[in-house]
């Protein structure tokens, strides 16, 4: 448990992705089976046991410490598990000389009855040190929250055997903790495990963004185009288990199983296949905005009411397998033809095909992108984010290969806002003020914060802003600095964003989607920055995109 606790501790503080991978890979390399396998399961969210509730942990500590000392401590630390981990009375003399291993903990928890849990937990807490107790409580309460995604943990595992994360991803659904056969394969001691999952995830193919000048290097006749929908990318898979029963699953772009959030879509996956497509909300046949779709995201349980009010829909744009045949090596044009037949055969109101955008020249495509309503998207035009370009001859490749697929978003909305507060960044940026809160003028000629952004600028621009922040600080609050923001003095930032939404959490009443700094306007005095009315007008248009 101690090694795992140190790993969690380091991961919780380490901001850098690559450094996190190094820490996890180092742990997996040095720790033996089955401990490391259970650690990998914990990091990928693959452990399942009944979690301990906060109330039980409170009761355990209440039996052991003075209530006033607990209250003072909890008030200072602010987190229940951490407070308990730190102030648990450690009678070092009575401490068992063996600390529980991660394997002991995981295997015991999977069989332990609810009534036995408190006493068992107390015995483990007695045997561990501060950090070990913290890790144990994180594990049993089910919230690691250390900024590690399942994908990141699998990437680290892949590094053990110089494999790509996608190779691990492909076989992952057939594996179970503690993953002995996975480690054997990664370390060259065993064969590659077979993916025996009847409805596996296939690593998604991703597109590069079109930049200025890219189109000049591409031949329009090599490509087909589709609308880029403002929903979420999913993979809908249907297969048959050994007994011939249907197995249906919905995966996120990264391979996370999100079937439980969308039970209303699963019955429509009647024919064995793997569909790559976009998850949308359709009402009266019209695609709703992303803001509407958001009501259905990240929900563990869904009510009948939610299902009725937010009817889910799958818009298909690729077919990765059909029956038991893997289609990914076929050219896109051929997969597309099969997809059209498949969707017609399936004939289900919840699943349709994403139409092609007809064009012969780039000029025609540019026109369609500028005005999707006229370009063929009709009444769904508002849900169009841009266009996707796919080479007719391209196989379906995992990851983000450069060349076969391009995404070309519509121009973002932009406003000019004034820098109000800057906060120090993390990791490589910890000596830079790199997180910015910006505002626009309200009716009383006061600046009100409308958003935060921490990317979009170049390294050189970051240095310039950092210098500005340090020289124009008017107030300091811990890691945050308030900078000069008056009508005649301050820094104007051009902020680009993808959408706008009413928000009760923000003082300004609006919230931006995906805001980033697109330009520094040293030339512009703050008084000429945008006003809140401008944002409200954008809002009134229902999130309709206005050209930059």
Partner 1 sequence: MRAEDILVPTPSGVCCKPGGFHIDPTRPVDKALITHGHSDHARPGHGAVLATQETLDIMRLRYGDDFAGSTQAVSYGETIKLGDTAVSFHPAGHVLGSAQIKVERKGMRIVASGDYKDLPDPTCAPFELVPCDVFISEATFGLPVFRHHDAPGEIAKLLRSVELFPERAHLVGAYSLGKAQRVIAMLRQAGYDKTIYLHGAMEKITAYYQNRGIDLGAVERVAGAKKSELAGTITICPPSAMTDLWSRRFPDPVAAFASGWMRVRARARQRGVSLPLVISDHADWDGLTATIAATGCSELWVTHGQEDALVHWAHMRGLKARPLDIVGYGDEEETENPAPADGEA
Least Cβ distance, residue 418 to partner 1 (angstroms):
25
Sequence-distant (≥ 6) Cβ neighbours of residue 104 within 8 angstroms: 1
Q: What is the DSSP-derived secondary structure letter of residue 5?
A: H
Radius of gyration of the chain (CA): 27
Calculate the alpha carbon distances from 358 to 378, 386, 518 in Å: 13, 14, 32
Q: What is the DSSP-derived secondary structure letter of residue 434?
A: E
Question: Which residue, 65 or 487, is less far from partner 1 as judged by CB?
Answer: 65
Please report which residue ranges of 31-116 form alpha helices under DSSP H: 35-44, 54-62, 67-77, 80-87, 102-111
Question: Which residue, 235 or 434, is less far from partner 1 as judged by CB?
Answer: 434
Q: Is the peptide bond before 178 cis (omega within 30 degrees of 0)?
A: yes
Q: Residue for token digits 């849900």?
A: 383
Question: Which residue, 76 or 522, is less far from partner 1 as judged by CB?
Answer: 76
Task: Extract the tokens encoding 313.
Answer: 């829909």
Least Cβ distance, residue 82 to partner 1 (angstroms):
6
Question: Which residue, 9 or 352, is less far from partner 1 as judged by CB?
Answer: 9
Give backbone dihedrals phi and psi of 381, rounded to 5 degrees, phi first: -55, -35
Least Cβ distance, residue 430 to partner 1 (angstroms):
5
Question: Which residue, 369 or 481, is less far from partner 1 as judged by CB?
Answer: 481
CA distance 235 to 250: 6
Q: Provide the 3-class DSSP secondary structure of residue 402.
A: coil
Question: Which residue, 13 or 455, is less far from partner 1 as judged by CB?
Answer: 13
Sequence-distant (≥ 6) Cβ neighbours of residue 492 within 8 angstroms: 416, 417, 418, 419, 520, 521, 522, 524, 525, 526, 528, 529
How many angstroms from the chain centroid is the CA of residue 162? 25
CA distance 11 to 121: 24
Least Cβ distance, residue 73 to partner 1 (angstroms):
5
Question: Which residue, 64 or 531, is less far from partner 1 as judged by CB?
Answer: 64
Question: Which residue, 77 or 184, is less far from partner 1 as judged by CB?
Answer: 77
Least Cβ distance, residue 471 to partner 1 (angstroms):
12
Give backbone dihedrals phi and psi of 277, rounded to 5 degrees, phi first: -165, -170
Least Cβ distance, residue 127 to partner 1 (angstroms):
15
The residue ranges that bind partner 1 (CB under 8 A) are: 6, 10, 12-15, 19, 22-23, 26, 65-66, 68-69, 72-73, 76-79, 82-83, 86-87, 90, 129-130, 424, 426-428, 430-431, 476, 478-479
Least Cβ distance, residue 263 to partner 1 (angstroms):
38
Least Cβ distance, residue 41 to partner 1 (angstroms):
23
Question: Which residue, 94 or 344, is less far from partner 1 as judged by CB?
Answer: 94
Q: Is the peptide bond before 34 cis (omega within 30 degrees of 0)?
A: yes
Least Cβ distance, residue 24 to partner 1 (angstroms):
11
Q: Which helix (H) or strand (E) element contains residue 184? A: helix 180-186
Question: Which residue, 85 or 237, is less far from partner 1 as judged by CB?
Answer: 85
Checking DSSP bridges between strand 351-353 and strand 312-322, what pairing results, if any? parallel
Calculate the alpha carbon distances from 170 to 17, 43, 71, 192, 424 in Å: 22, 18, 49, 11, 39
Q: Provide the 3-class DSSP secondary structure of residue 293.
A: helix
Least Cβ distance, residue 434 to partner 1 (angstroms):
12
């Amino acid at each position: 448990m101690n090694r795992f606790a140190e790993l969690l501790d380091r991961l919780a503080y380490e901001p850098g992705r690559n450094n996190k991978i190094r820490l996890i890979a180092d742990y997996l390399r040095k720790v033996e089976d089955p401990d490391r396998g259970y650690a990998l399961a914990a990091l990928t969210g693959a452990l399942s046991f009944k979690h301990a509730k906060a109330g039980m942990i409170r009761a355990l500590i209440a039996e052991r410490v003075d209530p006033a000392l607990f209250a003072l401590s909890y008030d200072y630390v602010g987190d229940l598990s951490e407070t308990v981990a730190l102030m648990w009375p450690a009678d070092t003399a009575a401490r068992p000389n063996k600390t529980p291993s991660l394997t002991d903990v995981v295997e015991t928890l999977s069989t332990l009855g609810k009534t036995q849990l408190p006493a068992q937990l107390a015995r483990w807490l007695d045997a561990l040190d501060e950090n070990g107790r913290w890790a144990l409580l994180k594990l049993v309460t089910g919230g690691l929250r250390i900024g590690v995604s399942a994908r990141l943990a699998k990437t680290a595992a892949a590094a053990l055997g110089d494999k790509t994360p996608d190779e691990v991803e492909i076989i992952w659904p057939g594996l179970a903790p503690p993953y002995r056969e996975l480690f054997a394969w990664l370390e060259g001691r065993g064969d590659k495990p077979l993916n025996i999952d009847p409805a596996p995830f296939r690593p998604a193919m991703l597109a590069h963004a079109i930049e200025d000048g890219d189109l000049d290097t591409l031949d329009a006749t090599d490509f087909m185009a589709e609308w880029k929908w403002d929903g979420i990318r999913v993979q809908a898979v249907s297969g048959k288990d050994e007994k011939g029963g249907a197995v249906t699953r919905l995966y996120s772009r990264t391979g996370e199983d999100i079937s439980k959030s969308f039970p209303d879509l699963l019955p429509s996956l009647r024919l064995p296949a793997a569909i790559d497509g976009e998850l949308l909300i359709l009402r009266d046949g019209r695609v709703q905005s992303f803001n509407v779709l958001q009501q259905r995201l990240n929900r563990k349980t869904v009510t009948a009411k939610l299902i009725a009010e937010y009817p889910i829909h799958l818009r298909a744009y690729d077919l990765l397998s059909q029956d038991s045949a893997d289609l990914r090596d076929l050219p896109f044009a051929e997969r597309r033809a099969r997809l059209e037949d498949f969707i017609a055969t399936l004939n289900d109101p919840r699943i349709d095909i994403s139409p092609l955008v007809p064009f012969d020249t780039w000029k025609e495509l540019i026109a369609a992108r500028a005005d999707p309503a006229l370009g063929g998207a009709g009444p769904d035009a508002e849900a169009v984010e841009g266009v996707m370009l796919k080479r007719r001859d391209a196989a379906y490749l995992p990851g983000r290969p450069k060349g076969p697929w391009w995404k070309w978003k519509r121009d973002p909305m932009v406003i000019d806002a004034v820098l109000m507060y800057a906060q120090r960044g993390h990791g490589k940026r910890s000596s830079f003020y790199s997180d910015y809160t910006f505002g626009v003028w309200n009716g009383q000629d006061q600046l009100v914060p409308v958003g935060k952004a921490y990317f979009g600028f170049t390294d050189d621009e970051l240095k310039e802003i950092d210098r500005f922040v340090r020289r124009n600080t008017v107030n300091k609050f811990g890691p945050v600095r308030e900078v000069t923001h008056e009508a005649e003095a301050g820094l104007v930032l051009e902020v680009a964003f993808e959408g706008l939404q009413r928000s009760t959490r923000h003082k300004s009443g609006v919230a931006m989607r995906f805001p980033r700094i697109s330009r520094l306007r040293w030339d512009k005095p703050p008084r000429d920055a945008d006003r809140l009315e401008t944002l409200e007008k954008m809002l009134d248009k229902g999130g309709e995109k206005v050209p930059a």
